[in-house]
Structure 1
Amino acid sequence: MSFYVRNSTPNPVWVAVGYYDPDCSPITYSKAGWYRITPGRRMLLVTGSSVNQTYYYYAYDQFGNTWSGDFPTYVPSTAFNMCWIERCQGTGCREVGFDEVNVGNFQNYTITLVEAAGAAKSKNMRAPKKSTRKFKLGKASLRKTPGKLGKLGKVRKPRYGKRK
Structure 2
Amino acid sequence: MNETIVCVVGNVATQPVYREAAAGPSARFRLAVTARYWDREKSAWTDGHTNFFTVWANRQLAVNVAACVEVGQPLVVQGRLKVRTEVREGQQQWASADIDAVAIGHDLARGTAAFQRAAKPEAALTAARPEPSWETPRPVGTPDEEAAQQAPEPAAVT
- Fold similarity call, TM over 0.5: no
Q: Under a length normalisation based on structure 1, what TM-score does the superposition of the two structures give?
A: 0.26
Greater relative contact order structure (CA < 8 Å, 6+ sep): 1
Q: Which has the higher helix share?
A: 2
Q: Under a length normalisation based on structure 2, what TM-score does the superposition of the two structures give?
A: 0.27
